[in-house]
Amino acid sequence: MAINWPISPRRLRELGVLGMNQRNGEFIAEMNSRRYYPLVDDKLLSKELAEEAGLTVPQLYGVIRTTHEIKGLSTLVGQHEEFVIKPANGAGGDGILVIEGKQSDKPLVYRRSSGRPIDIDSIGLHISNILAGAYSLGGRPDVALIEYRVKFSPLFAKISFQGVPDIRTVVYRGHPVMAMVRLPTSQSDGKANLHQGAIGAGVDMASGRTLGGVAHNAHVTHHPDTHEPISNIAIPEWQSLLEMAAKCSDITGLGYIGVDVVLDRDLGPLILELNARPGLSIQVANGEGLRHRIDRVDRHLAHLDGHETAAERAAWSRENLAPMNL
């Protein structure tokens, strides 16, 4: 019992677990036309698109495009003491700087989300790194977005450590197929990144209630920092959240995307970012492979003309894609 043997490929296939190669070769390559990639890779573009479609997103305070604009940062942020700086083309959450408030006015020093102070020069340097392409794919020059810092809803406060928990929904051909909540831990340094040790908790599609969680691909029932149980927390406005996710698929034209939503204390669900290459850990978090749900969507779509509203699609998903037993 000491050795944790790997699972057999046959069993994985039975469970409908999607592997990286299959995801890349059969879903991303087939369903996502490369020309639409910039719509999700460029967070500025996707933010504009989402706003046009009437979806709620964190408010954009401003964009810094050139090095000399960095000086204007303080006027750009204006009276906002809390804000987030992120590269428009960053990958995997790299290069995001969260400012929690001012430490002192003179000299200008801010406070990072981790509590550490950061002076305005260091912020400027971080922005210039973003502009030079330090965090963008292929090192291309980038722009920096300054936007509203989410005041996250107390819903997950008990089961997250610092940082902002978010809800990732995978949308296949316009239908939300699977969702999970990503809960930051001390190990993940307050980031909602599963690779770094954040907890992924599956969500029941029908009810919007959290299921059990996983960390580092192993089961957890309680948050390691707060020791609170992870499961059975109801996400409010679940239907509208799924509708938002479904709409994101429409506005980007991508057939297989991940939609990251945060719950704001005051503003409700906000779309944080879109991902054309959503990871596979969501399957572990839900204890279920994506394949069977995807097949069910395909079968469902075979009888339809594809003009259902986002609300109809979200409702269908809730009815038909609840955890499926094998």
Partner 1 sequence: MRRFHLLFVVLLLTLVGLSVAYYKHSSLGFPLTPDRETETWTVEAQIAMDTGAGPVSVRFALPTAPPHYSVLDESFVSRGWGLTTQSTDRQQEAVWTKRNPEGDQTLYYQATVYRDQEEIESSPYPGPADPPKLEEPLKSAAEAFIEEIRAESADIQTFATLLVKEVNAARPHENIAAFLKPDATEAERTRLAIRLLAIARIPARMSHGVTLKDEGRNLRSTTWLEVHNSRRWVPIDPRTGKVGYPRNFLVWWYGDRPPIEASGLDESELTFATTRTLRDAVETAQLLSTIAQSRLIDFSLLELPIDVQNTYRVLLLVPLGALIIVLLRNIIGIRTFGTFMPVLIALSFRETELVGGVVMFTLIVALGLAIRFYLEHLKLLLVPRLAAVVIVVILLMALISIVSHQLGLQVGLSVGLFPMVILAMTIERVSIVWEEHGPADALTQGAGSLAVAALAYLVMVNTYVTHLFFVFPELLLVVLALTLLLGRYTGYRLTELFRFRAFKTLAHAKRPPAPEDSR
Q: How many CA atoms lie within 13 A of 83 on its CB side?
A: 23
H/E segment holding residue 295: helix 291-301
Q: In whole angstroms, give the CA distance from residue 260 to residue 271.
A: 6
Strands 256-264, 268-275: pairing kind: antiparallel
Residues 221-280 binding partner 1 (CB under 8 A) are none
Smallest separation (angstroms) from partner 1 to the CB of 110 = 16
The DSSP secondary-structure symbol of 290 reads S
Smallest separation (angstroms) from partner 1 to the CB of 83 = 20
Strands 218-220, 60-64: pairing kind: unpaired
| Of 140 and 307, CB closest to partner 1 | 140
The DSSP secondary-structure symbol of 79 reads T
- Of 53-61, 117-125, 148-156, 259-267, which segment contacts partner 1 by CB under 8 A? 117-125
| Of 247 and 277, CB closest to partner 1 | 277
Residues 297-326 binding partner 1 (CB under 8 A) are 323, 325-326
Strand ordering across the sheet containing 60-64: 60-64, 144-148, 83-87, 97-104, 109-112, 117-119
Q: Which of 19, 62, 255, 268 binds partner 1 (CB under 8 A)?
A: 19
H/E segment holding residue 258: strand 256-264
Residue among 264, 287, 262 nearest 204 (CA): 287
Residue 56: both structure tokens together = 């709620």
Smallest separation (angstroms) from partner 1 to the CB of 225 = 16
- Of 6-14, 166-174, 252-260, 267-275, which segment contacts partner 1 by CB under 8 A? 6-14
Rounded to 10 degrees, the C-alpha dihedral 315/320/324/326 comes to -170
Residue type at position 169: T
What is the pattern of x (binds partner 1, CB under 8 A) and - over residues 69-108? -----------------------xxxx-------------
CB–CB of 171/177 below 8 Å? yes
Residue among 210, 146, 213 nearest 185 (CA): 213
- Of 56-64, 189-197, 253-261, 312-320, which segment contacts partner 1 by CB under 8 A? 189-197
| Of 67 and 309, CB closest to partner 1 | 67
- Of 37-45, 72-80, 188-196, 314-322, which segment contacts partner 1 by CB under 8 A? 188-196
Name residue 184's beta-bridge partners: none
Smallest separation (angstroms) from partner 1 to the CB of 305 = 26
Residue 133 touches partner 1, criterion: CB under 8 A: yes
User: How many residues of this chain bind partner 1 (CB under 8 A)?
Assistant: 47
| Of 183 and 314, CB closest to partner 1 | 183
Residue 218 touches partner 1, criterion: CB under 8 A: yes
Residues that bind partner 1 (CB under 8 A): 4-9, 11-13, 15, 17, 19-22, 25-26, 67, 92-95, 121-122, 125, 128-129, 132-135, 189, 193, 195-196, 214, 217-219, 283-284, 287-289, 323, 325-326
